[in-house]
Structure 1
Amino acid sequence: MSEISFRTKIYIGENSLDRLTRIKAERIFIVTDPFIEQSGMVAEVTNRLDHMDNEYHIFSDIVPDPPIETVAAGVKAIQDFNPSVMIAIGGGSAIDAAKAMKDFSLKLSPQQREMKFIAIPTTSGTGTEVTKFSVITDEANHVKHPLVADGLLPDEAILDPTLVKSVPQAVTADTGMDVLTHAIEAYVSTKANDFSDAFAEKAVRLIFDFLPRCYKDGNDVEAREKVHHASCLAGMAFNMVGLGINHSIAHVCGAQFHIPHGRMNALLLTQVIEFNAELRGFTSGGYSAAAMKYAQLSKIIGAAPATTNTRLGVNSLLHHINQLKRELHMPVTLRTCGITKEQLLAASEAICEAALNDGCTATNPRIPTGKDIESIIEKII
């Protein structure tokens, strides 16, 4: 028996930020990053809170891949302010950090009152506004720690497409490929079901249809909105059923080599699909379940006709992913990200061990060995 529930209330469309005008007489802790604060984007939140008898405190010390020390500072600020509402506005780092701050503050201070948690993403990538996951970085040991708990789920998410219009091209590409990876990994997860498949399929279609448009024209509000929705849909999918080794490896390599998470996922994606599909190991017994689902995705996005067999379907999906990466001018090797073969070899053993122990590995459709992880990474050097 499986349980499926959707705790987060989602507000979508232009002007969805106006939902904040309903908040009255609350103490509000706002988590964001320096750019969001200095660009005036945080004012889109505070302007809607002013004149409603609200008090708020802005914590804007968030940096990419938030370290444990930042979370600890946020917990201290929460304890001092004692808020009744938390609002996180920013990319995945801001929302993930806010999740960890909220969780730890409640655990460390029994007297801390429960906070309503509202997540407002300003990038379209992580889907963290609807997931029970948070990723925090241990900088000293170059390790990312995924936290998983139902208490990390935001109560509300606001998907206002006007907030993502100014996202730079490179970030649009990185985060968009993160969405695609979320959806594909959820689709072939060992826990996948009809509900997660529906979310994942729609997310994949939206990414192929609208991500190139976002990349070419950031002011294309329709495309921005569709990719924003795709990010949320993919988040809902993997929140139900988990991810796979694409993320396991990306967590480790991203922390080790300081490569943006979505970019690292994109580097690995086709290699992981080839590993999971096991086309070279095809026998008369049939293709793997993962291979057949990859082939199904190629039909869903119109990359292959319905009559295409499994092998051709998987190869067609791989071709269209590579084509999408070219359109987005994504790097295709670690070398183009400034990582040498010597650096990779020096860290290889630690990367393989950490990837195997990562929580995402448990739902990968094919059980990997350390050698398998090593082989996948070597193919992108």
Structure 2
Amino acid sequence: MERFTIKPEVYFKVGALEYLTTIDKEKALVITDPFMMQVGFTDQVLDVLRNTVSDLDVFSNIKPDPPIEVVADGIEQMLKIRPDVVIALGGGSTIDAAKSILWFYEKIVKRQEGQLEQKPLFIAIPTTSGTGSEVTSFAVITMGDQKIPLVSDELIPDVAIIDPTFVKTVPPQITADTAIDALTHAIEAFVSTQASDYTDALAEKAAKMIFDYLLTSYKEGNNIQAREKLHNASCLAGMAFTNAYLGINHSMAHALGGAFHIPHGRANAILLPFVIRYNAFCNDGTETRAARRYAELAKVLGLPATTICEGVNNLIAAVKVLLLETHTPTSLKELNIAKETFIQKLDSMSEAALNDRCTTTNPRQTNKEEIAVLFMVAFGE
């Protein structure tokens, strides 16, 4: 028996923020980051909330790759305020931090008081088109040099607001990084060992929309139609991978992010062509399950695929075109990482990637030695 679920209520298109006017709560906590405060997005949310919520607080100390210390500070504020609605406003780091804060807060209250009278309504408003965190059961926090993935249905927000108004001003390179992260979600979900008819439908649609609208969003940031489609695609990819899970592309990206603080989307983008080729393993004409799945996705994208290996190679080529057109590095060495330092951390990164939760559903069984080789291939010469 297999399972497919989509928990959040999703409100989308321009003006979706108006959903907040329907909230009938007393205390709200908005979890966000300093940039959202600076550009006025937080005030925009607070202005809408003031129509129905009497007591408003803000926790704005979120940092990229949220460290456990920030999560602890957020929990402390939650315990003081005891809000009945929590709103995460920001990119993947903010939503992941909010998930973690709320998750640990509920466990602490239950441990101390025996029960939580009413779980806060949890609303996520993404301001980048990439992580899909607003609809997933995953969160990633940082402890020292390690990224720790949390996985639980309890992490899934109750409501997701997918309003493209919040992504119109995202800079081109961040647009590319986050969108290719979403593309990686879709591709990894499609070839995952846990893929199903349900996740395939979401992953296929998300991948096609990203290929159709990424470059327009990158070059014409104010094109609201392209922004809306890319924002929706990110959410669809999140729905796919929260059910099908991911693979070593994300496992390796988590390890790279922990070791070198590389933006998550950028790490995924650089690794993607190398991981597709590794998983497909069709250089000698062998038709593996992964190769057939990649070729099937190539056909969905309208790429030539008269043979399995041709489909794989053309999918890789299409990804490389996106990297080229968005000025995204195509090797890790382009990030100015010293090769000696990279080699010093290679063993620990390979170990972390192998033990990452995402590795369990990768379409090709792997080991530490093969992951290390793949890291070096992606580093480049």
Instruction: Look up the equivalent residue of 1:144 and give its one-letter code.
Output: K
Q: Distance in 1 between matches of 2:52 and 2:177?
A: 38
Tell me the residue number matched to 2:314.
316
Tell me the residue number matched to 1:136.
141
Q: Distance in 2 between matches of 1:7 and 1:323?
A: 35
Q: Which of 296, 314, 326 in structure 2 is aligned with 1:328?
A: 326
Tell me the residue number matched to 1:126.
131
Query: Matches of residues 77-156 of structure 1 in structure 2 within 5 Å?
Result: 77-110=77-110, 111=113, 112=116, 113-138=118-143, 140=144, 142-156=145-159
Tell me the residue number matched to 2:61.
61
Q: Distance in 1 between matches of 2:343 and 2:51?
A: 58
Counterpart contact for 2:28–2:53, Cα < 8 Å: no
Q: Distance in 2 between matches of 1:238 and 1:30?
A: 27
Deviation at 1:281, TM superposition (A): 4.9
Q: Distance in 2 between matches of 1:288 and 1:51?
A: 57
Q: Distance in 1 between matches of 2:334 and 2:207?
A: 26
Q: Which moved further from structure 2: 106-115 or 122-131?
A: 106-115
Tell me the residue number matched to 2:262.
259
User: SS of the counterpart of 2:283?
Assistant: helix
Decide whether aligned partners of structure 1 residues 46 and 255 sit closer, same or farther in structure 2, where only a CA change above 3 A counts: same
Query: Matches of residues 191-206 of structure 1 in structure 2 within 5 Å?
Result: 191-206=194-209
Decide whether aligned partners of structure 1 residues 53 and 132 sit closer, same or farther in structure 2, where only a CA change above 3 A counts: closer
Q: Deviations over 1:284-314 (max 9, x none)?
A: xxx1111011011111111215xx1101111
1:174 is the counterpart of 2:172: no
Q: Deviations over 1:327-356 (max 9, x none)?
A: 110011112111121111000110111110
Q: Deviations over 1:112-133 (max 9, x none)?
A: 5411100000000000000010
Tell me the residue number matched to 1:249.
252
Q: Which of 214, 220, 223 in structure 1 is aligned with 2:223?
A: 220
> In percent, how many aligned pairs have the same letter?
48
Tell me the residue number matched to 1:368.
366
User: SS of the counterpart of 1:279?
Assistant: coil
Q: Distance in 2 between matches of 1:281 and 1:97?
A: 45
Q: Deviations over 1:1-57 (max 9, x none)?
A: 012221100001110000001113420011000000121101121111113242111
Counterpart contact for 1:204–1:230, Cα < 8 Å: yes
Q: Distance in 2 between matches of 1:281 and 1:144?
A: 36
Decide whether aligned partners of structure 1 residues 263 and 169 sit closer, same or farther in structure 2, where only a CA change above 3 A counts: same
Q: Deviations over 1:210-248 (max 9, x none)?
A: 000000011010000011011000000000011000000
Q: Which moved further from structure 2: 339-348 or 43-52?
A: 43-52
Q: Distance in 1 between matches of 2:282 and 2:186?
A: 21
Tell me the residue number matched to 2:19.
19
Q: Which moved further from structure 2: 68-77 or 292-301?
A: 292-301
User: SS of the counterpart of 1:212?
Assistant: helix
Provide the TM-score with structure 1 as the length reference: 0.96
* Alignment coverage as a number of residue pairs: 374
Counterpart contact for 2:21–2:51, Cα < 8 Å: no
Instruction: Look up the equivalent residue of 1:234 and give its one-letter code.
Output: A
Tell me the residue number matched to 1:279.
282
User: SS of the counterpart of 1:380?
Assistant: helix
Counterpart contact for 1:24–1:54, Cα < 8 Å: no
User: SS of the counterpart of 2:122?
Assistant: strand
Unaligned stretches of 5+ residues in structure 2: none
Q: Distance in 2 between matches of 1:44 and 1:334?
A: 39
Tell me the residue number matched to 1:42.
42
Tell me the residue number matched to 1:229.
232
Q: Distance in 2 between matches of 1:44 and 1:122?
A: 13
Counterpart contact for 1:334–1:340, Cα < 8 Å: no
Deviation at 1:280, TM superposition (A): 2.7
Q: Deviations over 1:69-93 (max 9, x none)?
A: 0000000000000000000000000
Q: Which runs of 4+ in 1 moved over 3 A?
A: none
Q: Distance in 2 between matches of 1:279 and 1:4?
A: 31
Q: CA RMSD in A?
A: 1.0
User: SS of the counterpart of 1:344?
Assistant: helix
User: SS of the counterpart of 2:128?
Assistant: coil
User: SS of the counterpart of 2:41?
Assistant: coil
Q: Deviations over 1:165-192 (max 9, x none)?
A: 0101110010011011000000000010
Tell me the residue number matched to 2:191.
188
Decide whether aligned partners of structure 1 residues 25 and 266 sit closer, same or farther in structure 2, where only a CA change above 3 A counts: closer
Unaligned stretches of 5+ residues in structure 1: none
Provide the TM-score with structure 2 as the length reference: 0.96
